[in-house]
Amino acid sequence: MSDSLVLKGLKDVRNHTGSEMLLQRPPRGGDAYPVKKWWATNASQTIYVGCSVFKVTQGGNSVFLAIDTAEMSTVRINSEANFAFNFFINKEISRAALFTDAWELIEHYVFPKISGGKVMTVVPAGAASRPSSGPATGPVASVTLVGTTSTAADGSEGPTNTTGGNGNGLTVTYDVATLVASNLSIGTAGSGYQVGDAFTVDGDTGVTGTVASIS
């Protein structure tokens, strides 16, 4: 998982190489997205700063990356696995922050304009946990049943690997002891699975098992 782009000003995205980072438009129009000030906060007063905000999605999780931009600023952002970020160029950029999809602060970044050196990462007390970029959940697309060859009710020998699914973009591998050769379906495919979840294969023998992996 990786993505890279150059942001000039508040909304000019260039050289975008992937699809993980998506610029968010301010809910009330304009170019600056209002974000609660995350540094030098005052418990008795809420102050908003105008930022450029990206929604970053990896697997089934998302975060918000807020950058304290200005009309003449430039920054290159690289998004890596598990919502790690690297910043380059950093022209007229002072700060940025990473939030959960519920706008809870995970960590924030102090750029060389203030730090005088490298970009510093600050994890405040009581910070929210960083989500993982694990596999997406949701309706499964392609189901692979892995196990020993079995005999169907009609006497035919079933295959070791049988695939099926509903075409939603995920590949799910199920570790089962036996397979059935006909009428294969996943009983609750629309609800989504995670590793370790139990499932039932509807067929001649009612095979059950657990999800071994999702990729």
Residues 31-68 pLDDT 10s: 999 999 999 777 788 899 999 999 999 988 899 999 99
CA–CA separation, 120 and 98 (whole Å): 13
**pLDDT in the model for residue 190:** 39
pLDDT tens per residue across span 12-40:
999 999 999 999 999 888 999 999 999 97
The encoded tokens of residue 116 equal 């005088």
Q: Which residue has the higher pLDDT, 185 or 87?
A: 87
- Residues 150-201 have pLDDT tens digits of 444 444 444 333 444 433 334 445 444 333 333 334 443 334 555 556 555 5
Q: How high is the pLDDT of residue 133?
A: 73
Q: What ranges do the domains of the chain cover?
A: 3-122, 142-214
- Specify the pLDDT at position 160: 36
pLDDT of 157: 42
User: Residue 135: its pLDDT value, please?
Assistant: 55
pLDDT of residue 158: 40
Within 13 Å of residue 60, how many CA atoms lie on the same side as its CB? 14
pLDDT above 60: residue 92: yes
- At 209 the pLDDT is 55
Tokens encoding 112:
């060389």
Instruction: Tell me what pLDDT residue 196 has.
Output: 59
Question: For 121-134, how does the pLDDT look when each residue is reduced to its tens digit (9 = 90+)?
Answer: 999 999 999 988 76
Q: Which pLDDT does position 128 carry in this prediction?
A: 96
pTM of the model: 0.64
